[in-house]
Each structure stands twice: as C-alpha cells, then as structure tokens.
Chain A
Amino acid sequence: MSYLLPAMTALAYCVSALVVRRCTSALNARSAATVFAAAISAASITGSGVAVGIRLPIDLVPTEAPYASAAIAIVALLAASLAPLASHSPRTFSRIFFLTAAAQACLATTDPLWIAVFWCASAWIAWAELSAATGAGISTRLFGLFHAVAGALFVLGAGLLSIGDSPTGAGLLLAGIAIRAAVFPGHSWFVPLLEEAPMGIAVAFAAPQLAAFAWVAASADQLPGAIANTVAGAAAFSALFAALLGLAQSNGRRAMGFLVMSQTNLVLTGIGSQSAIARSGAVFTWQSLCVAFAGFAMALAAIEARRGGLLLVAGRGNHAATPRLAAAVLIFGLACVGMPLTPGFTGEDLLLQGALSQGLQAAAIVATALNGITVLRIFLTVFSGRAPGTGEIDLRPSEVYVVGAVLAAMLAATALPRGLIAPASLRRAAIEPTGPSSGMISGNAEGKAKPHRSILPLVR
C-alpha cells in the first residue's frame, strides 16, 4: 500500500533540494529553502485536512497518523528558516530537504524493502553531512557505527519476517528500531549528533522519529508481545536515564539532547505498551514532539549563533532584547514535555492512561517531571541577566512569521486534538486492551500478542 500525499511531498522536497543546492550563498539558500518549505508545508497541511475530512477513493495519508506528513513538513520549515548561516551552507540546506524527503518517502509506503531503503538513505545523508561538518569527529564515528548496525538489523529483520521467521525477524527488526530510537544501550550516537551536527541536519534527521513510524507500520501482529514488552521496558528505562542526565548538563545542546532522547523514548514506551489508548497517545505525542523538538532546537540554535555558545550559566542573556526568541524557546520546550496548553499534553495524557504496567507509568511520570525541570532551567539560564552590548537581536521578520504560524497551528491542535487521533476503526486494529485494571502486561501462551489486522501491514 502507498500513500499519495507523502509521496508527492517527498518528490517536491527532492526537487527543492536540487534547486537550493545551486544557490550561490547560504543567505540565498536559506531564503529559497524557507519559501519552498513554507509552500510545501501549506500544501501538506491542506492535503492532510482534506484527507481527514473527505473520504476519497485513493489512500492520501497514513490513516493512523494522518498529520504525520504535515508535521514532518513543518519540521523542514523550521529547520530551514531558523538555520544559522554560519553552520549551514547551501549543500546543508539541500541535505535538510533530502532528509525530509526520505522521511516523507518512508510515510508513503508500507513495503518493507522501500522503508529499509529510505531508512538507510536518511542515515547516509546525515552521516555525509556530519563528515563534512565535523570531519572524523566523535559524532561521525558513533553515528556511522550505530546506524550501520541499526540499518543492517532492520533490513535483516524485515527480510526474515517476509519469509516467515517471525520471532527472529521481529527481534532483529525491533533491535534496529531500538538503536534508531536511541533506546539504552544503543543510544550513544544521539546526544553527540545534537551536540556537533549543524542543528538543521540534526533536527531533520531526528525529529521525524522514523523508528517510531517503523514500529507503528510493522504493527503488533508481526511482533511477539514479549519482545515488544522488552523494548517498551527498555525505552521507559532510557527515558528515565536520559531525563536524569539532562539535569546534570551545563551545555545547552547536550541538555536538549538528553531531553529529546527521553521524550522520544516515551513515544516508544507507548507504542510498545500493547494498549490502544497508549498507542494512540504515542502516535499523537510522536507528531507533536516532532514539531516541538524542531522549534525548540532551532530556537536554541538561533540563540547559539547570536551568542557563540550555549552554556547554561545564568546572567549571560538578555530577555528584554530577545523576547520573541525567549517565548519560542519556552513554548516549544514546554510542548516537548507535554505541558498543558500545548498539544503534547493530549498525547502524554493518553500515553500515561493507556500504559498497562504501573512500572512504565511511574517511569514515564518521573521522566516527564524531570524533563520539565530541564526545559525551565534551559529557558531561565539562557535568558537571564542583562548582558550589555552583546548585540543580540530578536527573531528576524521571516522567522517571526514562520514561528508565529507554527505556534498558531500548535494552538489549534491543542484546542481540537480529536482530528489528530487515529479513527476508532484503526485503533481497534491494535491489540485490545485488557481492561482498566493495572497490572503487568502478559502475552498469550506462546508469549505472543493476540493476532490482529495490521494497521500498515509492513509484512503481508
């Protein structure tokens, strides 16, 4: 099965990437990329709205995550428009678009081979940019090492599943997904990527969370419940681990890296929770985190470009000089951790209410609480003080329009979250919940989940 809107969007990003690459300066490239990304985002949001509102004879968007394509388009818009010129060449802007195209292409298909191709392509594009930007630095080596393993495991797992070796194939597939989603102990590439890569590239690669999509696409009838539970448990531990480490950082990029790693792992916890409510919450959180993370990271990159560093030491900022930038950091940051008045609240509420294990719920609650502290700590330290003569400027007009439009879209998603939640007919396809009582998840006699129809049948 394939979906038209992400496919068309992917094609549009490829064409745009080729055009942007021909720009003679980073400034021109950013302007062109912003215009292209804005146009594609508007078309994608409109298309997703049409697909949700009108029943068409063709499959326009993935039904369980109808706004995922639009969310990824918004990620590209934020990454392009807020990218600092010093660290983003025309080639970098081009790669941001190619990464987005690969993510959109993943959404467009349910064929495991094509998903594997796009999965590996996006990793290769990010690795190429890392190599160009940092040489053979730590982030490049770790990225290459972990993603070579993750890609190989995913391809092998999908291959074994397609020939009917379910337990081994599922295990390999989930191992690949776990590394790509930065689940402990396969997480070591994630924070160095956010620390050292050009922020636009880091965002375009990490924000779409292709691992979460791959798990949703794989669906639970292919994956034994015991293995899924193990990965969900590991993801919950990783969320807690990363949230704790986020408190200990004095570098803004690194703190943000652990924060996002923690929240990404919560998404995986929800998907693996084997409950329709948690799964809906995880998919919702995936889409909202996608946009919030992009906005948070790019706003911090803008501050970093103005200041020359992002140390979390109080007294080096000037809130009065950069009020819009401060507002963007705060709102996107709070949206990352699911504070009320942001769309993340809906997702995390569903995720917590649906998780059937008290251990997973406790880990998620504590991780979210710690992440909230990290967000406010980043905000308060970065914007405190009245540093004289730094010449820090607020958001540029084009950035104001882009960030304002994205914040308005987030407000709309907060007020009317129902459209972003998968329809009931599809939710029933997920594993049936065992009821409202608490307790540990258990599979059937063979240690497998109850069979059901695949939502996006990765392996038929």
Chain B
Amino acid sequence: MMESSTQWLVIAIVALPGVAVLALGLSAWLRRLIEERAINAVVAVAFAGSAIAAAVLIAFTAATGAGGVIASAGDWFAVEHYHFTWVLIADRLSLPFTLFCALLVGLIGAFSRRYLHREPGYLRFYLLLALFGAGVELVLLAGTLDLLFFGWEIVGLASAMLIAFFNERAQPVEHGLRAFATYRVCDTGLLAAAVWLHHAAGSSTAVLPAPGATPWMGFVGPGDQFQATAIALLLLWASIGKSAQLPLGGWLPRAMEGPTPSSAIFYGAISIHLGAYLLLRSAPLLEQAPIARLMICLVGGATALHATFVGRVQSDIKSALAYASMTQVGIIFVEIGLGFHHLALAHIVGHAAIRSLQILRSPSLLHDHHQLERAMGQQLPRTGGHIERIVPAAIQPWLYRHALERGYIDALLFDFVVRPVLRLARELDHRERQWTSHLANGRARPTMLDQRDPVEVS
C-alpha cells in the first residue's frame, strides 16, 4: 500500500505540470479570456503539488533509509524486443532536483505575475513555463534514456520559444532560432546514444549501482570499452549543447533576449544544468569510459577559463551573468569528470539558487548598487584584482582583446562550419533548380545564390 502510494507521488511530480500544460493549452486554443490570477493559480497549484510530492518522497526515503522509489507506468508502446517504458526514478540524485525545480518554477511564476502584468503574451508565457517545468521534471525522473530524450526535447523547444517570446522584434526571433539549432544539432548525440545503447546493451534503462560504485542509479554501457566510450562521448556532445559549453556556448548570452524571469530559471538555474545532470545520471557509464571523463574535464576546464575572461569584459549585466553561469557549469563538468559527484550535486543546487536570484534582480542592478553604496558610505570596491596579479602584464592587452571578441569562437564556427554548410546547401539548391529547368525544356528559374544566409549568425 505504502509502496503504491509513493509510486503515485512520483508520477504526480510529472503529471501535475502536464495537466497544467493541457489546461492552459486548451484555454489558449479556445481563446477564453482567463484572468491573470487564474493562470497563475493553475501554475502555482501544479508546481506546489509537484513540490509537495517531492518533499514527501524525500521525507519517506530519509525516514525509511530507502535508496529511492521506482514508478513504472508500463509500456507506452512495444514492438518485438523493443519496449518504450515509462519508468520514473525518484532517488538521491533526482529528488533534490525535482523539489528544487518545482519550487523554483512556482517562485518564478509568482514573480512573473507582476513582471509580465498586462503583457499580451501573458498566457503564452505561463503555458511555455509549465511546459518547461513538465519537461524538466521528466528529464530528472527519467529511468530510461528514451524517456529522458522525450523530456529533453520539450525543454529545448520551450527554451527556444521563450527566447523568441518578444516576437515583434527581429533579434529575439533570430536568437531563439539559433538556440534551437544548437539544441537540435547536439540532441543528435543523445538520440544516437539511446539507439546505440539499445542495440549494444539491449536496453537504455538505468540500473542500481554496484556496491561501492556510484551513489545512485544510472545508465550503464555495454561491456565493450570502445562502445561505452563512444556512447559517453555522444552524451557529452548532448550536454555541451544544453549546458552551453565550448565551442557551442555562443547561444547563451543571446538567449537573454527572453523575459527576465524565464532567463533566470532557464539559463541561471535549471536548463543550463541539465547537461551536468545527464552526466551525473550517466555516472556508471562514465566509470567505464576514462577517455570520456578526460574529455569532460577538458571541455569543462576550457569553458570555465574562456567564460570567466569573457564575462569580465561584458558591458551589460545579463551577458556578464550568462558567462558567469558558463564558468560555474564548466567547473561542475570538471568535478563530474574527476568523479566528485556529490560535490557537483551541491555545486549545481547552490549555483542555480544564487544565479537565478542574480538574474531576477538584474533589471534593478543600478538601484541595488546605489543602495549598497549608500549603506557602505563609499563606492563599491573593484573586483577581479587577482586576475591582474596572476596574468602577466604583457599578456593582459591580448587577453582583453580576446575576451572582447568572445574568443573569436562564434566567428570561427560561422566561417568554418555554418557558412560552408549553408553554402553547400545553396549550391545544391542552385544545381537542383538548374536540373529541373533543364528537364522542363530550359525554362529559367531564379536562384538563391544572391540571397542572405537564411540562418544568420549575429
């Protein structure tokens, strides 16, 4: 009886936000004029319920000493030996996150009530926020890589749609598309990993850890080390996109075009850490792949160094905070690569809390500084003096220029990856038009060669 109740609680953590999405989606389609208060109430009730369910489960596992609760809703669909199963895992890794995320989404919902008051897209914002929350809870509780991918894609879509929330302006739309393109390219890694894991290991379900191994359930690779390494590298590729690590982190500062509350929860708190979470959930697999762990350390370390310098020369607070987030997530990657899983877990929660607060307060930065200066009776002291001491004076101008140009990484990516791909696509399109014209007796058709890049990278 108790076991059944706890399983229902696990399902409720995901189901309640899902119901909120359905309710808000239906009202948006029917164009019923719902009061802002009612919209808030739907989101608040859903995520409060989610948070309560997570809190009860934490209390239950703490009281009973159980490692966690596994809830299975059975096969969603199955053909031959392949089963897509709804397995949710509420354990020591996922439960703190689910509680934290449910609380944070609820808080952001309450904060946005005033921030977006009378905004034309008010309902759309809350619909996307609820969709994001449901996707995140699914990612956190997913017991199979297939299910994790399901939630992962929902999070990516909600993220891009919220970046492009102010769609009457060109920049947010462009940046939303850029973030989505980065997500899609990197999500190929997660999908390929899930498919590979099924073929090589027969299943992508998380399993209980061996005694003395990782402290929570996780995805396990096949016995063959080459395959385990390849799958781990695919997961790293997926994490790089979602967590804005080098060399694909250029979308993050641009993502701040969205409403501040969504920026806070996505890029200060939750979405940015999902890559790290995926790696933590894949800890048993990473144990089998030392090369992949080394790569995680390298990517994280390089990102942390790059972002800390670039962040210091930004002239707007949101970009500075975006790079600060990248720095911390890079350090978290290093911690995961080195095997400090509990440290990484604590680092994620602590960083998410402080960063989301900073982003939420960012529109009031000047006001806050004035208050601080009044309280101190003097100007705020300069920060970053240690960098000036560590870095030799001869290198400082070069480093400053490098940081101003954001490491030239976006430009290099555009010149050596995006532009050639688009050029190839346009060339193929040109040939295609020539061929069809030739087939239709030489009738001329306009070509696309003289037009601007359809996916412009600013």
Chain B residues with Cβ below 8 Å from A352 are 191, 195
A245/B425 in contact, CB under 8 A = yes
- The answer to the question of A133 belonging to the interface, with a C-beta cut-off of 8 Å to chain B, is no
Given pairs A373-B180, A421-B79, A427-B80, 17 additional interface contacts (CB within 8 A): A138-B443, A141-B440, A241-B428, A245-B425, A245-B428, A277-B80, A277-B81, A314-B173, A340-B150, A354-B79, A376-B176, A383-B167, A385-B168, A404-B29, A418-B77, A427-B79, A436-B198
Q: Could you mark each residue 133-168 of chain A with 1 if its beta carbon is under 8 Å from any beta carbon of chain B, else 0?
A: 000011001100100000000000000000000000
6 nearest CB pairs, A to B: A248-B425, A386-B168, A138-B440, A141-B440, A384-B173, A369-B184
Report which B residues bind A (CB closer than 8 A).
Answer: 28-29, 31, 76-82, 84, 120-121, 124, 146, 149-151, 153-154, 157, 160, 164, 167-168, 170, 173-174, 176-177, 180-181, 184-185, 187-188, 191-192, 195-196, 198-200, 202, 421-422, 424-426, 428-429, 432, 435-437, 439-441, 443, 445, 448, 451, 454-455
Q: Closest chain A residue to B187 by CB distance?
A: A369
| Contact A142:B184 (CB < 8 A) given known A312-B454, A340-B153 | no
Chain B residues with Cβ below 8 Å from A366 are 188
- The answer to the question of A307 belonging to the interface, with a C-beta cut-off of 8 Å to chain B, is no
Write the nearest CB–CB distance from B398 to chain A, whole angstroms.
36
Chain A residues with Cβ below 8 Å from B432 are 188, 191, 245
B428/A244 in contact, CB under 8 A = yes
Can you list 18 A-B contacts (CB < 8 A)? A138-B445, A142-B440, A191-B432, A241-B428, A244-B421, A244-B425, A247-B422, A248-B454, A250-B448, A334-B157, A365-B191, A372-B180, A376-B177, A384-B170, A384-B173, A404-B29, A433-B80, A438-B199
Report the tally of A-B residue pairs with Cβ distances under 8 A. 160
Write the nearest CB–CB distance from A207 to chain B, whole angstroms.
22
Write the nearest CB–CB distance from A363 to chain B, whole angstroms.
11
Write the nearest CB–CB distance from A351 to chain B, whole angstroms.
10
| Contact A142:B188 (CB < 8 A) given known A247-B454, A345-B150 | no
Q: Chain A interface mostly helix, strand, loop or mixed?
A: helix
Q: Closest chain B residue to A139 by CB distance?
A: B440
B199/A437 in contact, CB under 8 A = yes
A323/B187 in contact, CB under 8 A = no
| Complex CA–CA separation, A282 to B113 (angstroms) | 45
Q: Closest chain A residue to B75 by CB distance?
A: A418
| Complex CA–CA separation, A421 to B439 (angstroms) | 41
| Complex CA–CA separation, A292 to B289 (angstroms) | 41
Chain B residues with Cβ below 8 Å from A31 are none
A188 partner, pick from B77, B81, B150, B435, beta carbons under 8 A: B435
Chain B residues with Cβ below 8 Å from A141 are 439-441
- The answer to the question of A327 belonging to the interface, with a C-beta cut-off of 8 Å to chain B, is yes
| Complex CA–CA separation, A68 to B432 (angstroms) | 33
| Contact A373:B184 (CB < 8 A) given known A142-B439, A314-B174 | yes
B79 partner, pick from A350, A369, A407, beta carbons under 8 A: A350
- The answer to the question of A249 belonging to the interface, with a C-beta cut-off of 8 Å to chain B, is yes
| Complex CA–CA separation, A244 to B432 (angstroms) | 12
B454/A276 in contact, CB under 8 A = no
Chain B residues with Cβ below 8 Å from A438 are 196, 199-200
B436/A138 in contact, CB under 8 A = yes
A377/B177 in contact, CB under 8 A = yes
Q: Closest chain A residue to B152 by CB distance?
A: A340
| Complex CA–CA separation, A408 to B346 (angstroms) | 43
A323/B28 in contact, CB under 8 A = yes
Chain A residues with Cβ below 8 Å from B429 are 245, 248-249
A380/B437 in contact, CB under 8 A = no
| Complex CA–CA separation, A191 to B196 (angstroms) | 34
Q: Could you mark each residue 366-398 of chain A with 1 if its beta carbon is under 8 Å from any beta carbon of chain B, else 0?
A: 100110110011001101111000000000000
Write the nearest CB–CB distance from A18 to chain B, whole angstroms.
33
- The answer to the question of A339 belonging to the interface, with a C-beta cut-off of 8 Å to chain B, is yes
Q: Closest chain B residue to A250 by CB distance?
A: B451
Q: Closest chain B residue to A383 by CB distance?
A: B167
B150/A276 in contact, CB under 8 A = no
Write the nearest CB–CB distance from A375 to chain B, whole angstroms.
10
| Complex CA–CA separation, A384 to B198 (angstroms) | 41
Q: Could you mark each residue 263-287 of chain A with 1 if its beta carbon is under 8 Å from any beta carbon of chain B, else 0?
A: 0000000000000110011000000
Q: Closest chain A residue to B445 by CB distance?
A: A138
| Complex CA–CA separation, A376 to B196 (angstroms) | 27
| Complex CA–CA separation, A402 to B173 (angstroms) | 29
| Complex CA–CA separation, A34 to B196 (angstroms) | 46
B84 partner, pick from A349, A433, A436, beta carbons under 8 A: A349
Q: Could you mark each residue 413-453 of chain A with 1 if its beta carbon is under 8 Å from any beta carbon of chain B, else 0?
A: 00001100100000100000100111000000000000000
